[in-house]
Amino acid sequence: MADTAAHLEFTPAIEAETADIYARLKDKVSPLEWQLQAPLIHAINRLKAEMNAVILAHNYMTPDIFHGVGDYVGDSLGLAREAAKSSADIIVQGGVHFMAETSKILAPQKTVLIPDLRAGCSLASSITGEQVRLIKQKYPGLPVVTYVNTTADVKAETDICCTSANAVQVVEHIAAEWGVDTVIMLPDQFLARNVARQTHIKIIAWAGACEVHERFDAQDIADVRAAHPGVVVLAHPECPPEVIAASDFTGSTTAMADYVTHNKPKQVVLITECSMADNVTAEAPGVEFLRPCNLCPHMKRITLQGIYDSLRYHQYEVTVDPELIPRAALAVQRMIDMPPLKTPARYDMVKARHHVDVEMIS
């Protein structure tokens, strides 16, 4: 039977050894909660050292994971890069299943664990490799750009992957490389529509969406502006275009965090998953984070207890069909090999307010 936090005693020694972590979490974690979390955090960090394991923690992880046990934290692109170069024997994915698959694709010789097999993704489940093959038959001669939020079989049918951090860069690069003016971009329709407003390249899109970001609308922003005049609104490019047009800044989770820590607005709202604001708070003292935000039920399946059990009992290992790995790895590696941006990618807000149609795949 798995140990629980109650079986891991909160001792003065553990309190002292985790004091620096609690200093970053004290605004989000009560002293009583910390007595339950600190023993798990201490035990996880000890197991990592013993097992030569690392934890990749996405920006949507809860603060106890993000600040307490994450060895590498950030957005999908940053975590993919860390997976590719990590010297660890074991990678524990603090994120959803497609992220764990991506780690396995980039590091097939390593053991990749995910604490909960139910941690899926609405985007990743919206399209299959077979559907991508049919799309390529319908639009021969056009490159396929696939969001990294996809399964391994989809990546294997892809010419190059992208994340929200480099989507515009990737679309323009692959169009120039292929000598075309049109690119197929899968599967997030809203990311595709927002990219179309940033580039002259024509976009053919799939009707997938993130269940967290598609729920936002322009009225959410109007309401928060009415209640808090002067608030700065930062949005993720998986949101609908009308949300982007009503915002002050749009960029990946890393770009949003960078904006807050460098500009330190008095009040800010992050139009994305709720834990994002909780994690940035530690880096931006004095900034007031307002809602709305939406919770990702899949990300929230990853818990400290689950990570502890994953390491202690070697569960649950993520595997990828060996026949898919070379092709999927090529698409992901092409994304990683793109010239790094000097600053985290952001969307031109003047362009974002222009209407540009995309062709939807029927």
Does 253 show up as a binding residue in the annotation? Answer: yes
The kind and range of the H/E element at 356 are: none
Does 210 show up as a binding residue in the annotation? Answer: yes
Does 148 show up as a binding residue in the annotation? Answer: yes
Distance (Å) of CA 344 to CA 86, 319, 331: 22, 31, 21
Tell me the C-alpha distance between 268 and 28, whole Å.
17
**Contact by Cβ (8 Å): 27, 64:** no
Tokens of 280: 């940035």
Q: Kindly give the pairing relationship between strand 111-113 and strand 90-94.
A: parallel
Does 149 show up as a binding residue in the annotation? Answer: yes
**Contact by Cβ (8 Å): 107, 79:** no
Does 147 show up as a binding residue in the annotation? Answer: yes
SS3 216: coil
Does 126 show up as a binding residue in the annotation? Answer: no
Does 31 show up as a binding residue in the annotation? Answer: no
Q: Beginning with the edge strand found earlier in the chain, give each strand of the sheet holding 359-360 in spatial order.
A: 160-162, 144-147, 182-186, 202-205, 359-360
Annotated binding site for iminosuccinate: 58, 76, 147-149, 164, 236-238, 253
> Binding site for [4Fe-4S] cluster: residue ranges?
121, 210, 296
The binding site consists of 58, 76, 121, 147-149, 164, 210, 236-238, 253, 296
